[in-house]
Structure 1
Amino acid sequence: MTLITGAAGGIGSVLARELAPSHDLILAGRGGQRLDDLCRELKALPLVLNLEQPASFVGAAQSLSRVTNVVHNAGMVELGEVSGQAHEVWTRTLAVNTVAPAELTRVLLPLVRAERGSIVFVNSTAGLSASAGWGSYAASKFALRALADVLRAEEAPHGVRVTTVYPSRTATPMQQKVRQQEGQSYDADAYLDAASVATTIAFALNAPRDAVLTDITVRPGPR
């Protein structure tokens, strides 16, 4: 079974539909009608997770008996200069974008090891290069990159593959929010299609067992 966090919207819901024909799915999110409807549509198992409370993951995951792949797709962003962002923003951003994936991985790792499965971290090009105004988000994504690199080295002897995908700006509700924070208009055609990112993630999951795609950067191609 393949577990996707942040499954109810953006890249997550597109990825779920991409994988549904060939993967049994566990769709994780904050709960609500969108998650319920998607699980019903795809005959998937829902998993309610509050990523701001990683201590709750052990209890939430107790019902899971089999997990082959984990796609850490959920995330949050609040733009702002270091001089103006309070510690609450940094704490929440790091909790959701870094601590939650680390803890969920720890909790699920025995199941993934048993399946010799894969873990995919949906990062961002902000995890490769930091820009002004993106401090807390970029820091969380740089840390997520380090987590993936360490996990890849540690889990290779257990047959677990670890991939990081670095999409550039993608046409999602999160990108709409970012553009609002930047005080700019949103044009979906100017960004990557979420389906293109989803197809890339699926390609990494479905790669032959003797191959691991360690780091994949996804940028818009020629129009």
Structure 2
Amino acid sequence: MVPMTMPEDDTNMSRVHQGLEDASSSVRLQAVLAIGTAPDSRFIDKLIERCGVEPDFYVRDMLTWALTRHSSSMTVPKLVGELRSERAQARSQALHTLSKIGDRQAWSAITRALLTDGDDEVARSAWRAAVVLVPEGEESELAGVLTTQLGRGERETQLSLSRALVALGEVIVPTLHAAVTNRDPRVRQHAIATERLLRNPDAGFEFAIEEAKRVSVLGAAGQEG
């Protein structure tokens, strides 16, 4: 016999649902905290739905935390489904959450299309998720795709890519060496800076970029000579 849902239970669920959509970010935060503290699979769909539209960074981060508190067998398939959403934030937050869950069954869903997504936030989330989820032995292939994004975007985007590449380790060296000869100076500089970070993680990205600019200019001058 299927147990009946108690009216009080329905009231509690309704109250939490209303809290998730409240105009106040602090109320929404408390609602998500309540769900994560006492996980209930009936809220998974609503949590994922909110991920795609929630405007507040801290609430989004709490949504991810609440989802990690539920069984990955229930959350991962639904999050993977979000990767096909037309809403960039839904794709980005789903990727971020998958990286936090760390279930490698989601690896096959991290497609080249996501790794090269036109939205910087989606691409950055995909890079981070890919580095966490990549199976052993597939790091070189992933590095090959990631290096096609060298020179992309502004500082934060470039730093995210460099961090993702450095996290893969020595397997990135051959592809970085190839990128150093690229005709685009932004690609060359980003590749050199990433290699500097691999060799000296404490150097800092700004220092690595400035050094890469000098190396790139000197290299170009040498070729002209």
- Ranked by relative contact order (alpha carbons within 8 Å, sequence separation 6 or more), the top structure is 1
TM above 0.5, yes or no, is: no
If you compute each CA radius of gyration, which structure gives the higher value, 1 or 2?
A: 2
Q: TM-score, normalised by structure 2?
A: 0.29
Q: Of Structure 1 and Structure 2, which has the larger fraction of its residues in strand?
A: 1
Q: TM-score, normalised by structure 1?
A: 0.29
